[in-house]
Amino acid sequence: MSLRLLTAGESHGPELAVIVEGVPAGVEVDSDEIDGQLERRRGGYGRGVRSTKIEHDHAEIVSGVSGSRTTGAPLALRIVNRDFANQPSAPVPLTTPRPGHADLAGATKHGHSDFRVVRERASARETAARVAAAAVIRPFLKEFGISLGSFVVAIGAAEMPIDLGRFTAESLRELAAAAEADPVRCPDPAASDRMVAAIDRARDDRQTLGGTFVVFAPGVPIGLGSYTHWDLRLDGRLAQAICSIPAIKGVEIGPGFELATRTGTEGQDAILGSPDKLVRGSNFAGGVEGGMSNGQPIVIRAAMKPLSSTRAPAQSVDLRTGLAADPPYIRSDICAVPAAAVVGEAMLAWVLAQSLLERFGGDRLDLDLAGFREASANPIPGVRG
């Protein structure tokens, strides 16, 4: 059984609906943990009124759990949209498409004359559903020793210095722990101050900001993904999943873009130690070699564009009148990079769980773990280590 996620619901509809299929039986489900992840997504300095004042998300588990454990049947969750209650009873149709949004392409694709119809589903509100789904699967990953984390590296031009190919599992965990207590989820206090100041300036200038964040996963066993089929390559799947987050325009595995400037020798991760205990000299590969996890932490950096809804005027055309028009400003975040990092964790969790289940079964947690232990004890038949 493969792991599948289906989300439904409009941004200002009554609720978001989530169906998760393929979670093995026996995985502990903790409702508070799911809500805790939703709370992380809601936060971050620079968010708008909806996130800070209106939504306090709670995921109600509707099916697929008995006691506190998954049954192997599909899980259904619902997240009520509190902002639904604030909707005008007769909303004004949106006829001037907003640049940088799904409005024009979506309306053309489906033949809608009111762009609100597109906006309602294209909105990043949908990512709350993804975060809830991933929160269900995170305890499963934990059983296999996999942890996840993230931190913000840049907001606009304010950046913390990092060396993407040299992080260890410990240093990544420390950075993520420090980020958790920071208003922009940046572990470097001086850089964080600059980021907060940049967001304040952007607000004053009626602008928005993007930035970059790192998501990572230590403890991933060797061999998730595949070198035999293009569509099962772990790096390809990770890039797709991270790029599927609204406003993400760039993804690198490890220091991908910096690697392009190095020689072959400079870009290698030396294989050191003995067959009993092999270690790697660096992690320029970002934990993926040949489309498979290589036992090193998975390290990904993603780039988020500046949010397209600004209070400054934008150029567009009112498709009802045919005249040039400034599209209506719709309440917006100034910066959502800290929230996007949490969504990035969710997407990383999702792809890793999919790949784990493909490798180790998927009906029962105990059997999956037995297969995993067997594979760990006997990595290459006939070879020591």
d(CA 335, CA 51): 12
Q: How many Cα atoms occupy the beta-carbon half-sphere of 90 within 13 Å?
A: 0
Q: Does 152 bind ligand FMN (CB under 6 A)?
A: no
DSSP string of 104-165, one letter each residue: HHHHHHHT-SSTHHHHHHHSGGGHHHHHHHHHHHHHHHHHTT---EEEEEEETTEE----TT
96 interacts with ligand FMN by CB under 6 A: no
* Binding positions for ligand FMN, 325-354, rule CB under 6 A: 332-333, 336, 339-340, 343
Burial 116-143 (b: 16+ CB within 10 A, else e): bbbbbbbbbbbbbbbbbbbbbbbbbbeb
Candidates 7, 95, 309, 355: give the one binding ligand FMN (CB under 6 A): 309
Q: Which is nearer to ligand FMN, 136 or 339 (CB)?
A: 339
Compute the Cα dihedral for 185, 188, 191, 197 and give only its sign: positive
Neighbouring C-beta atoms of residue 264, cutoff 10 Å? 7
Helix, strand, coil content of the chain in percent (nearest 5): 35, 20, 45
Q: How far apart are CA 207 and CA 309, in angstroms?
A: 8
In one-letter notation, the amino acid at residue 287 is: G
Chain positions 123 to 142 lying near ligand FMN, rule: CB under 6 A, are 123-124, 127
Is residue 199 a contact residue for ligand FMN (CB under 6 A)?
Answer: no
Nearest to ligand FMN of 23, 248 (CB atom): 248
122, 160, 217, 251: residue in contact with ligand FMN (rule CB under 6 A): 122
Looking at the Cβ atoms of 108 and 171, the one nearer to ligand FMN is 108
Rounded least distance, CB 359 to ligand FMN, Å: 30
Please identify, among the stretches 80-88, 116-124, 259-267, 348-356, the one whose residues bind ligand FMN according to the rule CB under 6 A.
116-124
Query: Do residues 354 and 1 lie in contact, with contact meaning Cβ atoms separated by under 8 Å?
Result: no
Per the CB < 8 A criterion, the answer to whether 333 and 295 are in contact is no
Select 101 or 237, whichever has its Cβ closest to ligand FMN.
101
Min separation Cβ 21 and ligand FMN, Å: 24
Q: How far is the CB of 366 from ligand FMN (least distance, A)?
A: 36
Torsion 240-245-246-248 (CA) sign? negative
**Applying CB under 6 A, which part among 89-97, 167-175, 262-270, 301-309 lies near ligand FMN?**
301-309
Nearest residue (CB) to ligand FMN, 150 versus 296? 150
Lay out the site mask for ligand FMN across 205-244 (x = CB under 6 A, - = otherwise): ----------------------------------------
**DSSP H or E stretch at residue 36:** helix 31-42
DSSP string across 365-378: HHHHHHHHHHHHH-
Among 80, 102, 317, 325, binds ligand FMN (CB under 6 A): 102
Q: How far is the CB of 361 from ligand FMN (least distance, A)?
A: 33
Q: Which residue's CB is nearer to ligand FMN, number 51 or number 192?
A: 51
Nearest approach in angstroms of CB 144 to ligand FMN is 27
Query: Is there a contact between 25 and 364 (Cβ–Cβ < 8 Å)?
Result: yes
Q: Which is nearer to ligand FMN, 121 or 142 (CB)?
A: 121
- CB nearer to ligand FMN: pick between 22 and 46: 46
CA–CA separation, 180 and 272 (whole Å)? 34
**Nearer Cβ to ligand FMN (3/339):** 339
Residue 185: Cβ within 10 Å count = 28
Cα-atom radius of gyration of the chain, to the nearest Å?
22
183: alpha, beta or left, given left = phi > 0 and alpha = psi -120 to 50?
A: alpha
- Pick the closer one to ligand FMN by CB: 232 or 314: 314
Binding mask 24-43 toward ligand FMN (x if CB under 6 A, else -) reads --------------------
| Binder among 12, 101, 138, 233 for ligand FMN (CB under 6 A) | 101
Q: Which residues bind ligand FMN (CB under 6 A)?
A: 48, 100-102, 122-124, 127, 245-247, 305, 307-309, 332-333, 336, 339-340, 343
